[in-house]
Amino acid sequence: MPGVSGAADPEVLIVGAGPVGLAAAIELGHRGVRCLVVERNDRVGYAPRAKTTNVRTREHLRRWGIADALRRASPIHPDRPSTIIFATRMDGPELARFEDALNGTRARTNLYAEEAQWVPQYVLEEVLRAHATSLPGVEVRFREELVSLGESDEAVACVIRDLASGATRHVRSAYVIGADGSRSAVRGAIGARMTGAGALAANINVIFRAPGLAARGRHGPGIMYWMVNADVPSVLGPLDEAGLWSFIATRLPDGHDPAAIDPVELIRRGTGLPDLAVEILRTDPWVAQELIADRYATRRVFLAGDAAHLHPPFGGFGMNMGIGDGVDLGWKIAATLRGWGGPALLASYEAERRPVHQRTIAESVVNYGLVGNHLVQPGLEEDGPLGEATRREVGAIIRMTKVREFMTLGLVLGTHYGNSPLVVPDGSPAPAESATVYVPSARPGCRAPHLWLADGTSLFDHFGPGFTLLVTEGAAAAAGPFAAAAAARDLPLTVLAPGDPRLRPRYEAALCLIRPDGHVAWRGMSAEGAGAILDRARGGTPSAAGGKLPVGKATT
């Protein structure tokens, strides 16, 4: 297998080969860090609950060079309309629709570098796995599980079991990432506990094949169909263009045993097609949760993805948020291992990510508070004036309330680390929080504003693998003090001066220091105090020669 690291112990052991673990492995592998990823299943993607790869995750894929590979691999045509439709049944009246839902339309905008993509999670995982194992030093091994771990000041000693043979072996690594899901063995090993409201309601996910379903529907192509009726309120979505579908029956009645449910009957009742030919491929009962770990890390062991946070899947945030965890951990662990990350860098993981998780969990719970069950009203499916009036009323409610679930750019791109210890504040006000509205901001802590350049490339395409010093006006020589300070710290720094006059007003500063994950660490009008700024951004202790950290508003 390409990417096998040989007999040497890995620098990082990653437990879990889902999207989160693979994202961390790719982030580390791109930076030359030896990784071993172990996964207890024989493959990933048995139950593809996630289908939305959002614009921020797709920007990471672009940075890794595999955004186009995912587009090519998808069994969903890239030009399928990114439309979400609410109707009583597949052959019943429409209630509402959302065009360009989740920002999946392939039209260029300066707001982001990649559109969202509706694609089954298992396809994304295969693209991630293929890329991860193509990187030198990255190995992915299936049917292996973590048995135990012991942490010292110098390393983490783990015991790994081969589930095929039963044999165990010892693996010693500098760090461990627990990306092993809701039943995380790593979380248990470090004594972290999940806290929160816990189970919210029972649901069931069904993967089925029905080649005739699309033709019998009356609502046209889309990526999601919400069936609002008193029989089986549910959500349908295509997994390919040949009749493979996902079906979620939301909020099963209390005390109802999912194992006793006939999934064919559920699908036929929910869609309103009593004679639909259905082949059941898999059923997956699950419970919506609202939980977050009481701690994310010890000194050398970190939790990411569902191992650290669980919430209802409505809004498509879970997998994408976990990939963000993997990105954050990846560059910070690599920086620490390679010597240019300071002693406070890894401690910033929880400080930065926990507020993101808390805000996103709260939004998901709001979204889950209005599923199809709550939209059903007496007379909804009746003929005549009463039914028409009821459907208009329900449609208006849907358009007013569900927009924050399907137009989520404010949450997806508006996530910021304004209170991070790695960020140099400039005194500017924090952006207004909105789930739906995203206003680009270069305030320290925010994701760097995007721009398509005159040559057709994305500004993000020119960011370096380490830090980037963006010169928005004038010559690259203005970054000289930063380049010298970075060299003195062996810190990778790319100086970027595109010469585009739109950048200065967009960034509201002449200089902007951008982190490896694309978030702004500092902005200002001069390079004064460059050493101290870099020390802050890398989680380091300011050196005597670093200079005084600029304070107050740095922009004009």
Q: Which residues pair with 495 in a beta bridge?
A: 469
pLDDT of residue 312: 80
CB 451 within 8 A of CB 512: no
Tokens for 47? 């139950």
Walk across the sheet containing 493-496 and list its strands: 493-496, 467-471, 511-514, 520-524
Tokens for 378? 């007496």
- The CATH topology of domain 12-76+118-195+290-366 is FAD/NAD(P)-binding domain (3.50.50)
Q: Which residues pair with 236 in a beta bridge?
A: 225, 247
pTM of the model: 0.93
- Give the position of tokens 């996902």: 246
How many helices and strands in the chain, by DSSP H and E? 16, 22
Tokens for 333? 């662990």
**Architecture of the domain made up of 416-537:** 3-Layer(aba) Sandwich (3.40)
Half-sphere exposure of 97 (CA within 13 A, CB side): 16
β 52-53/117-118 pair status: antiparallel
Q: What is the 3-state secondary structure (H, E, C) of 317-379?
A: CHHHHHHHHHHHHHHHHHHHHCCCCCCCCCCHHHHHHHHHHHHHHHHHHHHHCCCHHHHCCCC
Q: What is the 3-state secondary structure (H, E, C) of 91-116?
A: CCCEEEEECCHHHCCCCCECCECCCC
Using CA atoms, how far apart are residues 518 and 530, in angstroms rounded to an integer? Answer: 19
Using CA atoms, how far apart are residues 231 and 503, in angstroms rounded to an integer? Answer: 54
Tokens for 105? 């339309």
Using CA atoms, how far apart are residues 303 and 300, in angstroms rounded to an integer? Answer: 10
CB 511 within 8 A of CB 469: yes
394: left (phi over 0), alpha (psi -120 to 50) or beta: alpha
Using CA atoms, how far apart are residues 519 and 444, in angstroms rounded to an integer? Answer: 8
Low-confidence stretches of the chain (pLDDT beneath 70): 1-7, 44-48, 198-201, 251-259, 371-372, 542-556
Amino acid in the structure at residue 451: L
Helix (H) or strand (E) holding 512: strand 511-514
Distances in Å between the alpha carbon of 58 and those of 17, 69, 410? 19, 11, 16
Delimit the domains of the chain by residue range.
12-76+118-195+290-366, 416-537
Helix (H) or strand (E) holding 156: strand 156-162
Quote the distance between the C-alpha of residue 444 and its chain's center. 21
Using CA atoms, how far apart are residues 120 and 52, in angstroms rounded to an integer? Answer: 8
Using CA atoms, how far apart are residues 539 and 516, in angstroms rounded to an integer? Answer: 13
Amino acid in the structure at residue 283: T
CB 157 within 8 A of CB 170: yes
pLDDT of residue 4: 34
Q: How many residues does the chain have?
A: 556
β 244-249/194-209 pair status: antiparallel
